[in-house]
Amino acid sequence: MKVSEYLKKGLKNFVEEKAEGSSGECKEGAHRVTIFLKREGDKIKDCKFNATKRCKKLLAITDYTCEILKQRGEVPTKEEILSFFSEEKEKEKMENRADIALTALKQALSG
């Protein structure tokens, strides 16, 4: 899928304000993402995120990552994320944005 196609469907997990629950953040240059996790016992009840709006790749990747976590209860691999967005041409940028999203998610999970 292309990032533009994913974004046309709408972001399901983006929030403007800080959400309730544990959080993790990753910054790299102008890119920043914060992921918020709401738990019930050992289970993830919800996953939301806030990010700089100028990077569409980061928005799409983080939203997809939250969706997979909510659906399956497990963190998607970087390879799985890149495979989902395999139609994107800028592979290095996609890898970088996946690293940013996964770093923030891992921090939120450990918090």
Condensed to tens digits (0 to 9), the pLDDT of residues 16-55 reads 998 888 999 999 999 999 999 999 888 899 999 999 888 9
pTM equals 0.95
Contacts of 82 (CB under 8 A, 6+ apart): 91, 94, 95, 98
Query: What is the SS3 assignment for 40?
Result: strand
The ranges assigned to domains in the chain are: 3-110
Architecture of the domain whose range is 3-110: Alpha-Beta Complex (3.90)
* pLDDT tens by residue, 45-90: 999 999 988 899 999 999 999 999 999 999 999 999 999 999 999 9
* pLDDT tens by residue, 85-102: 999 999 999 999 999 999
